[in-house]
Amino acid sequence: MSDDQQTSIEIRPVDGQRAPVVRCVGETLADLVRAAHEAPIDETLARYEAEANIGRDGLDRILIYCAERKCIEEQATCPGCRRRSQALGHFKIEDFIAAHSAVEIGDQGLSIPGQGEGVVCFDTFEDFYRHWAGEEYWFWARRVLRKLRHGIRRAHIQGEPVAGDGETPSVILVEPQLADNIGMVARAMANFGLDNLRLVAPRDGWPNERARIAASGANYIIDDSQCYPSLSEAMGDLNWMCATTARQRDLRKPVLTPEMAVQEMTRRIGEGQRCGVLFGREASGLTTPEVAEADALVMIPVNSKFASLNLAQSVLILGYAWILSSGGGSLGRVTTYERPIEPGFQYGKDTPAKKAELEGFFEQLEAGLDTANFFRPLERRAITVRAIRTMFQRMNATSHELRTLRGVVAALAKSRNGRDSDV
C-alpha cells in the first residue's frame, strides 16, 4: 500500500452518520486529532509510526483534511464534533437535551429528562455546559499542525546570555515534573535576563528535547543548564539563597516580596557574591526542610483564596522584578527595524501639530459651522467655539491628522454646497 493510500481518509457510517475515518488506523479523524492534541508531538509521531507506519508527511496530510474542513465537501461529520451536533439540529442546549432520553451528570443521581433516545453522561455540570455542543476539532488540528511543522524547527533557534557568570541569580528547580515546564521556565528567564538554570533530579530525566521545544528559542539556557542529584549540590557554591513559597512556614527567617528579594540579591551580587532563587515541584512546592536551607522566604502578593502559581509564572514574576531593578529591559522587542521606545505617546515619523496649523483648522471649521447656521443662539457662539477648540486641543493631533480633519471639513462643505445648488 502506498503512503497516500495508507494515510487516506474514507467515509464510513459511524453512529448512523457518515464520518471520515483514517483508513490504516481504523479510527475516526476526530479520535486521531484528539489524541494528537493531547499528547506531545514527538509521542504522537512515535505512536503512529509504530502502529501504522505513518510518518511526519502522512500525519500532516491527515491533519490538513480536518484543519481545512474538507469533510464539508464529503457531507461527513465526526462523532463529538460541533459540525455533527449542528447536522443533528443541536443548535441550543434544549435541542441537545430533547434529543436524548436523559442527560446524567456526575454520580449523585442528577438526571435531566429528554424526549429522545439514549442516555448521555457527563462528569460534572460544567463539562456538560462546555461540551454538549461538540468540539471544534478543526481548530485542534490546526494547533497540532503548527507543532508538527514548527515545533522541532523552533527547538534549534538560538539566543545568547545577556550577563556574565554569576551576574544574575541562579534559578533552581527542585524535582520539576514536566520537561515542558522546564522549557517554559527557560523562556521566562530569557524574557527577563536571567541566564543560569539549575535542575535538581528532574522527573523526566535530562537533557530532554521537549524542554528545548517549549523554550521557544531560549535554548542557550537549556543547553547551559546544570543538573544535580540533590539540593545540597545544586546550592553548594551560592552565598545567599531565597526560597519561594505560598504557604506560611514556622521558620524564623525573613519574609520578602519579590522586589525586596531582588534588592538584596542585587546588593550581594554587586559585592561579588553568588545568589539563587529556589522553586519547588509543580504539584506540591517545596518541603519545609528544603525551605529551611534558604536564607529568606519569598512570597508573591496574590489573591489569598487562590495563591497557587504555576512554575513558569513564579519564575516570570521574579524575573520581572529583576529586570525592573536592573534597568536593563526595553519596552517590547528591538530589532533592525524597531528602535527602542520610551513610555508615553508615540508620534512615529509624524510630529505634533503646530499652533498655527491648529489655528488654521479652527478658522476653517468655524467658518463652515457659521455657513451651516450651527451657532444658535448667536450670543452663545463664543462659549461654543471655546468648547469646540478645547475638545480638539485635547486630542493632541499630529500635523497629518490635522490635514485629514481639514479635508473632512472641506468635503462636507462641498457636499452641502452641491445639495444647495441642486435645490
- What is the 3-class SS of 301-368, one letter each residue? CCCCCCCCCCHHHHHHHHHHHHHHHHCCCCCCCCCCCCCCCCCCCCCCCCCECCHHHHHHHHHHHHHH
Band of the pLDDT at 320, cuts 50, 70, 90?
very high
How far is 389 from 112, CA to CA, in rounded Å? Answer: 63
Residue 106 is predicted with a pLDDT of 83
Mind listing the pLDDT tens digit for each residue in 273-309?
999 999 999 888 999 999 999 999 999 988 888 878 8
Give the pLDDT of residue 341. Answer: 62
Q: How crowded is residue 191: how many other Cβ atoms within 10 Å of its Cβ?
A: 15
User: What domains sit in the chain, N to C, each tagged with a CATH number?
Assistant: 1-89+133-154 (no CATH), 91-131 (no CATH), 170-326 (3.40.1280.10), 355-416 (1.10.8)
**Residue 311 C-alpha from the chain's centroid:** 15
pLDDT, mean of residues 64-86: 91
| Confidence bin at 335 (pLDDT 50/70/90) | low
- Per mean pLDDT, which range of 74-83, 261-270, 338-347, 401-410 is the poorest? 338-347
The pLDDT of residue 222 is above 60: yes
| pLDDT, position 330 | 60
Question: Residues 6 or more apart from 124 whose CB is under 8 A from it?
Answer: 105, 106
Whether the per-residue pLDDT at 417 is higher than 90: the answer is no
Helix axes of 355-371 and 381-394: crossing angle, nearest 10 degrees: 140
Q: Name the residue with higher pLDDT: 238 or 3.
A: 238
pLDDT at 333: 56
- With residue 400 as reference, give the H or E element that holds it: helix 399-422
Residue 215 CB: number of other CB atoms within 10 A?
Answer: 28
Read off the amino acid at residue 346. Q
Nearest Cα residue to 173 out of 213, 135, 129, 208: 208
Range of lowest pLDDT (100-104, 198-202, 238-242): 100-104
| pTM, two decimal places | 0.53
Order of all β-strands in the sheet with 226-228: 226-228, 197-200, 170-174, 275-279, 240-244, 296-298, 255-256
The mean predicted confidence, pLDDT, of the chain is 86
User: What SS3 class is residue 419?
Assistant: helix
Q: What angle do CA 283, 289, 294 make, to 5 degrees?
A: 95
Measured CA to CA in angstroms, residue 418 lies from 374, 414, 423 at distances of 18, 6, 9
Task: Please say whether the dihedral angle defined by the alpha carbons of residues 78, 80, 83 and 84, taken in this order, is positive or negative.
Answer: positive
Higher pLDDT, 3 or 204: 204
> pLDDT at position 160, please?
65
Instruction: Write out pLDDT tens, residues 161-179.
Output: 667 778 899 999 999 999 9
Indicate if the pLDDT at residue 154 is higher than 50.
no
Of the two residues 151 and 85, the one the predictor is more confident about is 85
pLDDT at residue 329, as a whole number:
62
